[in-house]
């Protein structure tokens, strides 16, 4: 009897030792994975900076404010690409965020049960479509329709608005900054809608039922219960869509026109950092041309980093405010 008890104790000790070893291995493995990610990001940043240094050394700060891009005379500036990247992303967010909210709220709050699965599946299928397909559809289907039927109306009725009319003036070409922004908006909708839908579905049903029970409308439930409960995740979903819009390459390259000149009108062709890299990197001849393109990549890296940092700052502020109220 005593030997049996001793053997049980030894078994427990061995299991405890094995558990400690496995826990040590698991903890250090995850730590190594995190360090590897940081090292990769640091290595990318260093390599981009080294490649971009000749351009920064020659042009200095003028590289950021110059709209010239002439490989023949080796005069390069990033202003056109930076402007196109920011403007198309803003247009995409203005379109994508409200539509994504509407889709997610409809699926979680208003959609009949028999329709919920087909709509959710359709959203996921849209997210799985390659970006080049969006670009081809935009070039061959959307851009001609937009140029023939929508842009003339925009120029006629919005082009005369004081202070804002120059944004909507110009010939109806079909391709341009506005078209690229709309295509980007369509592309980011599935990603943000899926995130918002998953967030809204984790809201405890008892909270919503209690609000409905005291006479709240659907809009009031969404405004007072769903959004406050999921606001941190919602900000993260918006930043996910914005990151997708900032870095999109092929779809924008098809429909933006790829013109290296600064235009005030959204209907005119333009360029983004991603489309510039996709179009010109394989044709870059000479150190300065290549270095300028790498500098564009470093600028895009920095813009994305700033966007994520700002999003993290707002999330921290939201968390601190919640703690103060509590």
Last residue of one domain, picked from the residues 53, 76, 94: 53
Q: For residue 182, give every residue at least 6 positions away whose Cβ sits within 8 Å of its Cβ, in sequence order, or none.
A: 91, 92, 95, 142, 146
* Both tokens assigned to 110: 């208003």
31 and 97 assigned to the same domain:
no
Residues 4 and 144 in one domain: no
Other C-beta atoms within 10 Å of 76: how many? 23
Residue 104 CA from chain centroid, whole number: 18
What pLDDT is recorded for position 178? 93
Grouping H, G, I as helix, E, B as strand and the rest as coil, residue 155 is helix
With tokens 């092929």, the residue in question is 250
143 with 194, same domain?
A: yes
| Pair of tokens at residue 72 | 């023949």
The predicted structure's pLDDT at residue 109:
87
| DSSP H or E segment with residue 75 | strand 75-76
Phi (first) and psi of residue 112, to 5 degrees: -60, 150
Do both 320 and 275 map to the same domain?
A: yes
Boundary of a domain, candidates 11, 33, 53: 53
Measure the CA–CA gap between 224 and 219, rounded to whole angstroms: 8
| pLDDT exceeds 50 at position 326 | no
* Residue-number span of the structural domain to which 206 is assigned: 62-325
Q: Give the separation between CA 206 and CA 190, rounded to whole angstroms.
A: 28
pLDDT at 49: 92
Q: Is the pLDDT at 244 greater than 50, yes or no?
A: yes
Residues 186 and 207 in one domain: yes
Which of 53, 71, 92 terminates a domain? The answer is 53
Q: What is the pLDDT of residues 70-124, one digit of tens each?
A: 888 888 989 999 999 999 999 999 999 999 999 999 998 888 888 888 888 888 8
Cβ atoms < 10 Å from Cβ of 162: 6
How far is Cα 95 from Cα 323, in angstroms, rounded to an integer? 33
The answer to whether residues 120 and 111 touch, using CB atoms and an 8 Å cutoff, is no
pLDDT digits (tens, 9 = 90+) for 125-141: 888 888 889 999 999 99
Look at residue 140 in the predicted model and tell me its pLDDT. 93
How many domains, the chain? 2
Same domain, 37 and 86: no
What CATH number should be reported for the domain holding residue 205? 1.10.3720.10
Three-state SS at 245: helix
Residue 167 CA to residue 176 CA, distance in Å, equals: 12
Per-chain mean pLDDT for the chain = 86
What are the angstrom distances between the C-alpha of 112 and each of 118, 164, 199, 205, 284?
11, 42, 19, 17, 55
The sign one gets for the Cα dihedral 49, 55, 60, 62 is: negative
Instruction: Give the pLDDT score at 11.
Output: 60
Cα distance between residue 110 and residue 282, in whole Å: 50
The pLDDT of residue 16 is above 70: no
For 208, how many CA atoms within 13 A lie in the half-sphere containing its CB? 17
SS3 256: coil
75 and 110, same domain (yes or no): yes
Look at residue 2 and tell me whether its pLDDT is greater than 80.
Answer: no
Q: Do residue 48 and residue 188 come from a single domain?
A: no
pLDDT at 250: 87
pLDDT tens for each residue of 169-222: 888 888 999 999 999 999 999 989 999 998 898 888 888 888 888 888 888 888
Residue 4 pLDDT level (bands cut at 50, 70, 90) = low
pTM value is: 0.87
Could you tell me if 96 and 148 lie in one domain? yes
40-52 pLDDT, tens digit each: 989 999 999 999 9
Residues 1 and 133 in one domain: no
pLDDT, one tens digit per residue, over 52-71 is: 999 999 988 889 988 888 88
Residues 197 and 247 in one domain: yes
Whether 191 and 48 share a structural domain = no
pLDDT 10s digits, 258-303: 888 888 889 999 999 999 988 888 888 888 999 999 999 999 999 8
Measure the CA–CA gap between 54 and 52, rounded to whole angstroms.
Answer: 6
């Amino acid at each position: 009897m005593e030997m049996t008890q001793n053997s049980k104790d030894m078994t427990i000790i061995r299991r405890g030792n094995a558990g400690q070893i496995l826990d040590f291995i698991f903890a250090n493995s995850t730590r190594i994975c995190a360090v590897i990610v940081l090292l990769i990001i640091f290595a990318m940043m260093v390599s981009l900076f080294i490649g971009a240094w000749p351009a920064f050394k020659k042009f200095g700060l003028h590289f950021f404010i110059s709209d010239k891009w002439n490989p023949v005379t080796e005069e390069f500036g990033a202003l056109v690409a930076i402007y196109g990247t920011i403007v198309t992303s803003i247009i995409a967010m203005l379109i994508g965020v409200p539509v994504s909210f509407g889709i997610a709220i409809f699926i979680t709050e208003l959609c009949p049960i028999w329709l919920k699965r087909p709509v959710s599946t359709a959203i996921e299928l849209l997210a799985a479509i390659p970006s080049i397909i969006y670009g081809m559809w935009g070039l061959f289907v959307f851009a001609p329709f937009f140029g023939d039927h929508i842009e003339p109306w925009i120029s006629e009725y919005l082009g005369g608005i004081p202070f804002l009319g120059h944004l909507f003036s110009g010939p109806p070409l079909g391709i341009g900054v506005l078209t690229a922004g709309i295509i980007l908006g369509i592309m980011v909708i599935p990603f943000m809608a899926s995130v918002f839908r998953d967030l809204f579905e984790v809201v405890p049903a008892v909270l919503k039922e209690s609000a409905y029970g005291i006479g709240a409308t659907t809009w009031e439930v969404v405004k007072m219960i769903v959004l406050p409960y999921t606001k941190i995740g919602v900000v993260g979903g918006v930043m996910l869509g914005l990151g997708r819009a900032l870095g999109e390459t092929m779809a924008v390259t098809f429909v933006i026109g790829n013109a290296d000149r600064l235009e005030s009108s959204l209907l005119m062709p333009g360029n983004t950092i991603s489309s510039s890299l996709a179009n010109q990197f394989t044709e870059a001849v000479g150190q300065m041309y290549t270095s300028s393109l790498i500098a564009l990549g470093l600028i895009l890296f920095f813009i994305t980093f700033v966007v994520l940092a700002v999003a993290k700052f707002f999330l921290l502020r939201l968390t601190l405010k919640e703690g103060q109220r509590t």
